[in-house]
Structure 1
């Protein structure tokens, strides 16, 4: 079996390693246009902030490691065309300019995503940077040494993590976003408000509800960010607006969402036989709604890549879908979310309800007992859990993984009330706070008159 892999991303690495293990006789060739593979991009803020000193730890594979498994890795080779019907591809060596053709029995497309770059005046000025790969992280670190005021555009996970890192490095920081609050896709206001307050206390300027219109510079370097509400003087800009799937190669050949995300079935196969896809180049099945959605997360990527390998020869292991579960630590806040927020449930026009609890996560007689805020979104009709958010000064984020499993297994808020959790004063109360959320959401029962 001759296998070609385009892109050695999170999903690509998982697919390659598992394919090599499951099919030792397979001839596997990997085409990667960068000069490195398997960089953990979600570690960029930790690297920039100095928490991670050695960036080598942010790579979880290498061409040498793949070679030991019998895999041929062609670095700095960009695939320029694919014929899925004829099962052939053309690649260009980025060092020499030479092109080569190759054939395949199975094609794995793990081309990942790329940051959204708006078409604005001044976008090509120096010191306007992206945050995606290893080279980006090194550029950010080097250029930020000479910057006094850094502006981050985009208040998603990557943006807010970089804001914290820059502030802790002693920089003046401004965070810009066109919506009126940060992390709006992941958290409802009662959660994002707490992070915003921490930012303000640290002297971070929040330019929210402002749309960037252009950039101005001097001597080729950015000096001002122009928004619809004013001007921000700055030395450096990081664009964290979002990502688009890298799928131009297969455009018109396989089914895609409107944004170009490849649609795959439960076995990671595209609409074209023997062509598989995984990771940030794909749509995923979002369990809270049952719809195909674009949710680029490393966790989704490694699962999907592993499933590609298991299903390469024949359909074997089905994809279970995703809840889009994620976690974040900003200053003293431990935050996690899964599934739908109240805002996204409204956007989906669902008939839902919510329950929010605030309590100490373990007995107050313990030396410390931080408060936890938990919000659970559930369907009014069948009472199925649809989503949850948590914030605390203690690291209780794994509880959201538990709620992710609840959503995946279609559990109800009523069942959550009586799930069996252990009790130990170091860790929780006799009623775990997850139970408490379920108990508070229980419907009131009408008592029957006592029969004498």
Structure 2
């Protein structure tokens, strides 16, 4: 069995390693256009901020390790065309220019995603950089050394983590986003209001609800970011506007979403026989709605990549879908979310309600008992749980994994109210805060008239 794999990041590495272990007789060839594989891009801000000093820890595989499994890795080879019907591909060696054509029995597409780069005037100026891979992170570190004013465009997870890292390194930082809230895809206003206040308290300038229109500079280097409402000094600009699936190779050959994300079935198969896909190049089944969605997360990628290997020869283990569970630490605040926010539910036309819990995570008689804010969103009519968010100075983020399982299993709020959670004063209260959220959503019991015979 000849297996060709295009791309070797999170999903690709998981698919390759598991395929090699499950089918030792398989002839596996990996095509990777970069000069490194398996970089944890979620660690870029930690690397840039100096929290992680040795970048080698951000790689969890290498061509040498794959070779030990019998895998052939063709580094700096860009696949230029694929014919899924004839089961052939063409690749170009980026160092020599040599082209080669190969056949395959099974194709695994883990081409990932690439940052969205709008066609702003002045985008070609020096010191406007992306934040996606290892080379980007090294460029950011190098250019940030001599930069005083740094502008980050995009207030998603990567953008927020970067502005924190730059501020902690003594830079003057501005964060720009067209949305009027940071992290608007992940959290409701009760949370983003507090995070924005924290960022401002640390001296980070927020330019929210502003659209970048152009970049200006001198001597070929950026000097200002111009928006529809103002202008900001910038020695260095980081673009973190979002990602798009890297799937041009298969356009017109497999079923895709409008944005190019490859649609796969529950066994990671595309609409083309013997072609599988996983990771940021793919759509996922979003359990809160039951529909396809594009949610590029490393956790989704490694699960899907592992399932590709398990289902490569025959359908074996079904993909359960995802809740889009994620977390972030911003200064002292530990934040996590899963499923739909109340805002997202409204935009999707879902009638939803929510319970907001402000409490201490353990009894007040304990020496410390930090507060927490938990919000659980549920469908109004069915009372099925749709999502949750939590924020606290103490790390309670694992509780969101519990809610993720609840959403996965379509649990209702009254079930959450009476789930068996342990009690120990060091960790929680007799009513766990998750129980409390469920209790807060219990419907009123109608009174019954008493008959007097």
| Shorter-normalised TM range | over 0.9
Name the counterpart of 1:242. Answer: 242
Residue 7, structure 1, aligned to residue 19, structure 2: no
Name the counterpart of 1:346. Answer: 346
Displacement after TM superposition at 1:451 (Å): 4.9
Deviations 1:100-134 (A, max 9, x none): 01000000000000000000110011100100000
Name the counterpart of 2:386. Answer: 386
Displacement after TM superposition at 1:381 (Å): 1.1
Partner of 1:42, secondary structure, is helix
Displacement after TM superposition at 1:450 (Å): 3.6
Partner of 1:381, secondary structure, is coil
Calculate the TM-score normalised by the size of structure 2.
0.99
- Give runs of aligned pairs for residues 24-423 of structure 1, distance below 5 A: 24-423=24-423
Displacement after TM superposition at 1:382 (Å): 1.0
Unaligned runs of 5+ in 1: none
Rounded to whole Å, the distance in 1 between the matches of 2:306 and 2:314 is 14
Rounded to whole Å, the distance in 2 between the matches of 1:321 and 1:354 is 23
Partner of 1:364, secondary structure, is coil
Deviations 1:166-197 (A, max 9, x none): 00000000000001110000001110011100
RMSD: 0.6
Displacement after TM superposition at 1:431 (Å): 0.2
Rounded to whole Å, the distance in 1 between the matches of 2:236 and 2:140 is 9
Partner of 1:265, secondary structure, is coil
Displacement after TM superposition at 1:9 (Å): 1.2
Partner of 2:232, secondary structure, is strand
Deviations 1:142-186 (A, max 9, x none): 100000010000000000000000000000000000011100000
Rounded to whole Å, the distance in 1 between the matches of 2:451 and 2:69 is 75
Partner of 1:345, secondary structure, is helix
Calculate the TM-score normalised by the size of structure 1.
0.99
Name the counterpart of 2:23. Answer: 23
Rounded to whole Å, the distance in 2 between the matches of 1:247 and 1:380 is 38
